[in-house]
Structures are given as structure tokens and as C-alpha cells.
Amino acid sequence: MGKPYVWAEEGPDAFDCSGLTYNIYGQMGIDIPRTASEQAKMGAHIPFSDLYYGDLIFFGSD
């Protein structure tokens, strides 16, 4: 995309990780939370074999 990583940015000139997903999903008319932790909380655990294009994958430390 040619845009820099900048913490707490959601575009269009710079993004952080969750800001990028927030921006892209928003452009598709899909509302998701702004932060990665909130995005992860709204998701569901699914088997790896059931992943689909566009799914977001989160890893935790607990």
C-alpha cells in the first residue's frame, strides 16, 4: 500500500495493525471495533479448516 505504520492511526495516510483492518472493513460497509483487542473479543473461535478469505486471526498470550 505504500503507507507507513504509525501507532493509533487508521488511515488514509498511515495505519497501525487494527487501524488497517478497521479502515478496510469500514470501506466494505462492515462495522468492526477500532482496536485489535476489541476486534478479537467480537470474533468466534473456529477450526482452522473453516477459515475463509477475509477472516481475521488473533493470537493471545493467555
* Residue bearing the bigger pLDDT, 52 or 62: 52
Q: Is CATH 3.20.20.70 the right assignment for the domain spanning 1-62?
A: no
Which residues are registered as beta bridge partners of 15? Answer: 5, 10
pTM of the predicted model, to two decimals?
0.83
Tell me, what's the pLDDT at 60? 81
Tell me, what's the pLDDT at 59? 87
